[in-house]
A = this chain, B = another copy of it.
């Protein structure tokens, strides 16, 4: 009984749309299956960039044609973190079923914030699983967010609002009047500083404590600084320990930080965006045990749980403090006891967002597909691969290890006797660019103690030990070609 004039965006031809979906599945399966033999990265031709600069189309075109455009201009020039030799930044691989879960989540299309529907319960179960993974108590609270930056700022917002008499949410920072300070190391991820800035504390509120030769926070300097600040009438409120720094995978001495936080009654937050899940690797478990006692922890699922982008998690030990930081109930979100308008406590009471997709589903399906034990093996494998790479580096006179291998990060560079620091830098920058341009591997770079270094961060479920041999051989080949 469709009216002549009724319009919709649904396809005229459902069968054709179904076939297009099958085609996409086939193309993705072929892509993943053959990825090892493909170049990891290709330069984007000028004409492709040009095609991605056109104005908004006035009229539509056949979905098949849209897909052709995608296959021509978008798909071939992918970032590459699906490839077994992607080691840049810290970006996970994804898995086929994780991707299919995103398809299903998008197809169901629930806003997973409020109401009585299955996504709310899957989300809750996944947050509970996250507590289990981190050894957090069952009565802790948590929320899935886009990633580490949002996970950290969410936790620090709770920490800030829980400070003192807890009047900051209402009165604001100026109304409260204290000079709040948070402590982290110089190796802490930049998102902690960004969080402090966004939360209104300002760059100046972040005390960056120097690190030792292993890039771990110097605890004695931390305590000295806290005392100096208290004596100056300032208000320390939080310590941020890092479980796996982005530069070198270093782990701050979490147990000592926890002690200091308790001693001075400060919030203890752990940024485990990259490394918290390493607690599943027996080699690292003991150094991460204090994480279980933290007031809050942030970690990513698209790194070491290898689910597709984007999803991270914040856990807060004290659920009431968590809820008190964010909960509000406007008239248009009134809940009922029955029907769609019933359901669990709205998730918006625990974070910034009212619009939330069903990102829990890919974690739910992935953990059911593999079980936590398999993830423990995979994480341990990445760590062992990094150590293996470290040994390869050590065995070559032309290569130099730039930091102790910690977790799955190996920093090294090529050197030759008599080269200046600038010449070494130029050499390794050129190696970095060429090994990407040739499509072989994608490490990234950083600067440690003022020295430029290649950086291999491995949260890749497709990497094999042989890939580390390939990487080293190719770095040496390219480097010697340049020389």
Contacts A339-B437, A340-B88 given; does A193 touch B10 at CB 8 Å: no
Q: Which of A354-362, A399-407, A413-421 contacts B (4 or more CB under 8 A)?
A: A354-362
With both beta carbons as reference points, the residue of chain B lying nearest to A96 in the complex is identified as B17
Contact indicator A461/B9 (Cβ below 8 Å): yes
For A170, the chain B residues whose CB sits under 8 A away are 197, 202-204
**CB-contacts of A142-168 with B (<8 A):** 146-150, 153, 157, 160-161, 168
**CB-contacts of A194-231 with B (<8 A):** 194, 196-205
For A377, the chain B residues whose CB sits under 8 A away are 7
Q: Which of A51-59, A255-263, A288-296, A390-398 contacts B (4 or more CB under 8 A)?
A: A51-59
Contact indicator B190/A309 (Cβ below 8 Å): no
Residue A285 at the chain B interface, CB threshold 8 Å: no
CA distance A203 to B356 in the complex (A): 24
Against B, the Cβ 8 Å flags (1 = close, 0 = not) of A107-141 are 11111101111110110110011001100000000
**CB-contacts of A399-436 with B (<8 A):** 429, 432-434, 436
For A341, the chain B residues whose CB sits under 8 A away are 88, 432-433, 436, 444-445
Sampled A-B contacts (11; CB under 8 Å):
A11-B96, A48-B121, A74-B361, A94-B109, A111-B310, A112-B309, A149-B354, A153-B352, A157-B198, A190-B333, A336-B429
With both beta carbons as reference points, the residue of chain B lying nearest to A300 in the complex is identified as B355
CA distance A80 to B108 in the complex (A): 8
With both beta carbons as reference points, the residue of chain B lying nearest to A359 in the complex is identified as B310
Contact indicator A353/B150 (Cβ below 8 Å): yes
CA distance A354 to B91 in the complex (A): 11
Selected from B121, B176, B196, B461, the residue in CB contact (under 8 A) with A8 is B461
Interface centre among A52, A91, A108, A358 (most CB of B within 10 A): A108
Contact indicator A338/B118 (Cβ below 8 Å): no
How many interface residues does chain A have, given as a range?
35 or more
Residue A47 at the chain B interface, CB threshold 8 Å: no
Contact indicator B148/A355 (Cβ below 8 Å): yes
Residue A49 at the chain B interface, CB threshold 8 Å: yes
**CB-contacts of A326-341 with B (<8 A):** 326, 328, 330-334, 336-341
CA distance A18 to B21 in the complex (A): 12
Residue A60 at the chain B interface, CB threshold 8 Å: yes
- Beyond known contacts A10-B95, A100-B103: 6 more, CB 8 A cutoff: A24-B100, A61-B368, A89-B114, A190-B330, A198-B352, A302-B355
Contact indicator B202/A309 (Cβ below 8 Å): no
With both beta carbons as reference points, the residue of chain B lying nearest to A206 in the complex is identified as B172
Interface centre among A48, A160, A171, A339 (most CB of B within 10 A): A339
Contact indicator A173/B202 (Cβ below 8 Å): yes
Residue A264 at the chain B interface, CB threshold 8 Å: no
Interface centre among A82, A109, A125, A177 (most CB of B within 10 A): A109
